[in-house]
Amino acid sequence: MEARVVDSADVAADAEIGAGSAVWHLAQVREGAVLGPGCVIGRGAYVGPGVVLGRACKVQNYALVYEPAVLGDGVFVGPGVVLTNDAFPRAVNPDGTLKAADDWEPVGVQIEEGASIGARAVCVAPVRVGAWAMVAAGAVVTRDVPAHALVAGVPARRIGWVGTAGVPLVPDGEGRWRCPRTGEVYEELGESVRKVGE
């Protein structure tokens, strides 16, 4: 299945667009970016130079994914999300000259398999969002998020756990949690949880 890139999208000639992916109106995919198969880049979204997306990722309308972000398979990036890349942003150098590409070193956000970043959330690089974690809409992530964590607020704090279905887990005995949708059981391991049997 061929990729679909609409006429109004701006895709660099050397960007790699995986089979079955779609790049919608006014989206920009920069030089050297790699989109795995089956990805969707929404209207007005921005994917920076060298950004890597795994298979079946969704980057919703007007999200900004700055380099050198790396997204695992099945990652969801909601509308208006920003993945930053400058730990100490300034427009100018101390001498007042405009900063150029050589005047700073980009740092990235890493989002692992299946994780979701809610609408208008901001991930302040460098941070890692663990597999199947969920960042609530409007949250500001300033530190790493464990796998399966549900985080919310400014700055984001863990308020619960989620399973692979994205539904908050419910208590199921000492140190155990259950997904009310799938019935999967998870066990606590320090500051994270793991599906029983994995």
How many alpha carbons fall within 13 Å on the CB side of residue 101? 2
Question: If pLDDT is split at 50, 70 and 90, which confidence band does 197 have?
Answer: confident
Domain boundaries, the chain: 4-162, 163-198
Return the percentage of the chain with pLDDT > 90, whole number: 90
CA distance 134 to 112: 11
Give the angle subtended at the CA of 85 by the CAs of 84 and 87, to the nearest 5°.
Answer: 100
Res. 198 pLDDT band, cuts 50 70 90: low
Residue 118 has pLDDT above 90, yes or no: yes
Backbone CA torsion sign across 64, 102, 14, 25: positive
Contact (Cβ atoms closer than 8 angstroms) between residue 150 and residue 158: yes
SS3 16: strand
The pTM (predicted TM-score) of the whole model is 0.95
pLDDT digits (tens, 9 = 90+) for 123-142: 999 999 999 999 999 999 99
- Given a cut of 70, whether residue 57 has pLDDT beyond it is yes
Residue 189 parent element (H or E): strand 185-189
4-162: CATH superfamily: Hexapeptide repeat proteins (2.160.10.10)
Non-local CB neighbours of 129 within 8 Å, separated by 6+ positions: 109, 110, 111, 112, 115, 117, 123, 135, 141, 144, 145
Q: Which has the minimum average pLDDT: 68-72, 86-90, 150-154?
A: 86-90
Only one residue has tokens 């007007």, namely: 62
